[in-house]
Amino acid sequence: MQSAFSSLLECLGPESRANRLAFLEEEPRIDQGQSTPERDAEIVESGRGVGDSISCHPAPKSSFGIFVDGVENSATAAWYLGLPLRLAQVAAAAVLRDEEGEMREVVAEERQVTLLYPNSVDADTEQRLHAFCKGAGIRPLPVALRQGEQDWGIALQKHVQAVRGDLECTVLHEASPRASEKCWILADGRCPEPKTAPTKYVVGLVKSHLLPYFKDELYRSWVLNLPEGHRTPVFCATREEEGARKTYSWYLRLHESPDGPPWFGLIRLEMNDLDMALARVDEITAWVLAERAPLSLPDSRYDRLLYPVRYIEQYLRSRLRSRWDLQALIG
């Protein structure tokens, strides 16, 4: 369907300004900082306690057969009466690895281009935005400021991450019928909530550590000092800012480097089912350790980024629209 407007700038009118550098240069990422929990997480693994460092060894073969990841590419597209509008393309896929270790089959894939705008725009402007998006094949998404937020630019960036998370949950849900005892799913990032996708055979792998689950001194002296191939006991990963959701998690050091930062090679694994986590923690850890080779070089995150996940990222990015196409949408 042809749009009533040739570009976003035409849609918004003379009160708008286009960002001529959108998608042409990388915007600074949100500096969310590292928050400190009010209390240490509860250890739930029997016979283990705070400070324990458990040695693990790689399995001969990993039972992870499906990998899930997503990518995002977004930029401030324009300003309308001083309010930013953000154009984002987001994609996610679940890919099946065959018996020979080759990433062969895309089990599920989702892609979308979304225009995120403050919900404070007037009704006439919102109507024009919807008309433009409908003709351009773009999803319009109004965004509200959350409690404590004041910066619309940051609010829109955070919402792009939420859109990506939703797509990852969608492809995981589509792939979940293929999961089994012999074909587990490894999702890059947090394990999705059970209400969004079946998660019996799903493990989340978190590479960032903006939300530590232990207080500063303990986190630095224990978690950041884990040797290579060692894990913490399983703990209940619940934070007040995340609501009532409970997951069960453990830290693991994949690689260590005398010259790297203390979080070099440090990941956090996560599951929704407590009984499954406790029964299979060592086995799952051994599978993850087996995934360390081949390295994901030349990616700078090779110490935490597993090769199958990097494969999905490269695949998805090759299918995104070019920056010139996105610039043409802006006008």
Distance from the Cα of residue 124 to its chain's centroid: 35
Total length of the chain: 331
**Res 1: pLDDT:** 46
How much is the pLDDT for 41?
Answer: 87
* Residue of 208, 211, 293, 212 lying closest to 255 (CA atoms): 293
C-alpha atoms less than 13 angstroms from C-alpha of 122 in its C-beta half-sphere? 6
Cα separation, 297 vs 314, in Å, equals 13
Choose among 124, 41, 101, 114: nearest CA to 73: 114
**Can you list the residues of the chain whose pLDDT is less than 70?**
1-3, 25-35, 147-149, 195-198, 239-244
- Residue 220, Cβ neighbours under 10 Å: how many? 13
The predicted model scores a pTM of 0.91
* Contact assessment for residue 233 and residue 250, using Cβ atoms and an 8 Å cutoff: yes
pLDDT of res. 241: 53
Percentage of the chain beyond pLDDT 90 is 64
Residue 123, phi then psi, degrees to nearest 5: -60, -40
Q: What is the pLDDT of residue 39?
A: 82
Tokens 């997480």 appear where? 41
Cα separation, 208 vs 219, whole angstroms: 14
**CB within 8 A of 93, min separation 6: which ones?**
68, 69, 70, 106, 107, 108, 109, 110, 171, 312, 315, 316
Give CA 227 to chain center in angstroms: 26
The reported pLDDT for the residue numbered 238 is: 79
Among the residues of the chain, which ranges form H helices?
8-12, 123-136, 152-175, 216-221, 274-290, 307-318, 323-330
Evaluated on CA atoms 118, 124, 128, 134, the torsion sign reads positive
